[in-house]
Amino acid sequence: MAPGDVRKIIHIDMDAFFASVEQRDAPELRGKPVAVGHGASRGVVAAASYEAREYGVRSAMPSVTAIRRCPELVFVRPRFDVYRAVSQQIHAIFAEYTDLIQPLSLDEAYLDVTENRMGLATAWATAKAIRARIREETGLTASAGISYNKFLAKLASDHRKPNGQFAVTPDMGADWVATLPVKRFHGVGPVTAAKMNRLGIETGADLRAQSMEFLQRHFGSSAQWYHAIARGEDDRPVNPNRTRKSSGSETTFRSDLTDPAEIEAGVLGQADSVWDWCEKAQRFGRTVTVKVKFADFRQITRSRSQPAPVRTQAALREASLALIRGVLPTQMGIRLVGVTVSNFPSEESGEELPLLGGAA
């Protein structure tokens, strides 16, 4: 791209992807409130159709809460093999328009279409063509955001959902950001948004009014990012070679557990699941994290990093057990446990992870 050229970035986001696939494949579910997940008392909603969202049903919501909000809710067990296959279809369509594709998940991705491979008049026309192809080939709808950077493109894709698109041009970017609540900004989570609100920062305009010194004092290393996005600025490239930074697995128990042996068995099961991925991908990380969610939904994590990657299943199991034993015993029941491996080195030394707990 020549100096001074404006990038053309599209963010494609499938509409209620998992639930829409289920409604596509089972016509009797169309028009009904659908939740992908498990409706049992220990279940969690993985995804919700737009009909279900009208009742306040959201992903990650306990199933009992979802049913309370929408008694007519229909639960469908997830079919991740099907979702992955459809995602591959969608990404094959992307690849016809650009090589610069950065997937964020099965159902969304950034595309840099600055190089106009298809000879379409505008990035708007490109996004429209991609959405039409997706609809034709999969029977599903997608929304798109078009802008000159990733931050604005992602914000824009939410603006006309479902089945719509919205463009933020260079001459409107900063002013448009100023009108939005900070809780909508990518990279500003609920905790940070609440902190900003306490500081009198409700909108992009409020954020832009703060000095860098103020932002550094209250938000530390994130200050520069907040200072930039408040002005509609984001120089991050669309990175098709972005590597996976972690692998994790978690499970929700059928009932709250307090027995250490049962809890440890659950952690070992998740460690084995993570190891399967590590072994197949030949990716070995240095940091092991155990996640615990208690019966009152309070959540904690415990992590430990090592100088060398975890290269055996036994070492991962040992590390996971050491971390969960730091939480046990517990009087409060445990609802969920998870294990994650992260901190994959770019050049691995081949050293074995030493056993935790002081073993030589």
Grade residue 360 by pLDDT with cuts at 50, 70 and 90: very low
Residue 47 pLDDT > 80: yes
Global pTM value: 0.76
What is the per-residue pLDDT across 186-200, written as a single tens digit (0 to 9) for each?
A: 888 888 999 999 999
Positive/negative CA dihedral, 53, 55, 61, 66: negative
* pLDDT of 276: 86
Cα distance between residue 255 and residue 240, in whole Å:
42
Task: Please state the rounded mean pLDDT for residues 9-38.
Answer: 96
Closest CA to 340 of 245, 247, 243, 244: 247
What is the per-residue pLDDT across 205-236, written as a single tens digit (0 to 9) for each?
A: 999 999 999 999 999 999 999 999 999 999 99
* pLDDT of 4: 57
What is the per-residue pLDDT across 63-116, written as a single tens digit (0 to 9) for each?
A: 999 999 999 999 999 998 899 999 999 999 999 999 999 998 889 999 999 999
Rounded-to-10 torsion of CA 28, 31, 37, 38: -60
Grade residue 41 by pLDDT with cuts at 50, 70 and 90: confident
* pLDDT of 320: 96
137 a catalytic residue: no
Q: Which of the residues 22, 108, 250, 264 is marked catalytic?
A: 108
Task: Please state the rounded mean pLDDT for residues 284-311.
Answer: 93
